Amino acid sequence: MERHTLSSRLTRIGDEIHKLTNTLDAMRVTDTETYGHNYEELSLDAALRAEKIACSLRNLIYAANLIPKPILMEKTAQVHGIAIHHNETMVEIVLPGLMPKRVKRINTTFLTDPLYTALENYMQKNSVPRFTNCVVCFTHIFDETLSAKRVRDYDNMECKQLLDTAAAFLMTDDSGLFCDAYHTTEFGEKDCTILTIMETDYFPVWLGTKKERAESISDF
């Protein structure tokens, strides 16, 4: 990469890091009880800015041809804690906690690119079922040590891009003709999201095990 171009991109990234630092400083001094809405807006801004910085650094690595994208995305998936498991009736994908829907256009490849690579690698090594008629379940897990006010409406969660990525590998189609969708919220040790895709007939069994958990909050 030409030196001037590299320097310009690094400068823009540095500017974003400076803005992120300022936002974190503002979060540090904001009274979360009195100004909860302000704190929420600051934290969302910080998270989105951090994603933007990460994607910009990835693009810089690609442009400089430093590390092949599949290798970088495999390492990124590990950092995100993306994990995939399956049996003959279902596939379970563990993901970081999902962000609210974007209020402005932000690069959504922060999670979809590493998820794509993780699925591609897993499919190459395992015989995984491909579902035609199925149920798609998003389990949103929130850190039980933090405020329950963090729990969001299901229609405010950014799920579509991740489902589109998973469907390319695991489903005939993700339209309502072929699958039903279900969301549930739980409290656990840390924030994460579990995407489960299963045969339609297995859903009552899966749902029964979920309802046995007293701490589960469900909306079917």
Q: Class assignment of domain 68-219?
A: alpha beta
Instruction: Read off the pLDDT of residues 46-71 as tens digits, 9 standing for 90 and up.
Output: 988 999 999 999 988 888 787 889 99
What is the per-residue pLDDT across 169-204, written as a single tens digit (0 to 9) for each? 999 988 877 899 999 888 888 889 999 999 999 999
Can you give the residue ranges of every domain in the chain? 1-66, 68-219
Length of the chain: 220
Q: Show the beta-strand stretches assigned E in the chain.
A: 83-86, 90-95, 134-143, 179-188, 192-199, 217-219
* Beta strand spans in 37-109 (E): 83-86, 90-95
- Nearest CA to 51 out of 7, 1, 111 is that of 111
**Mean pLDDT, rounded, of the chain:** 86
Looking at residue 213, its pLDDT comes to: 56
Q: Is 55 helix (H, G, I), strand (E, B) or coil?
A: helix
Nearest CA-CA partner of 195 in 217, 219, 164: 164
CA distance 146 to 139: 18
Q: Which amino acid is at 215?
A: E
- Residue 214's pLDDT is what? 44
Q: Which two tokens stand for residue 188?
A: 């656990």
pLDDT tens digit sequence for 118-174 = 999 999 999 999 999 999 999 999 888 877 777 776 665 678 889 999 999 999 988
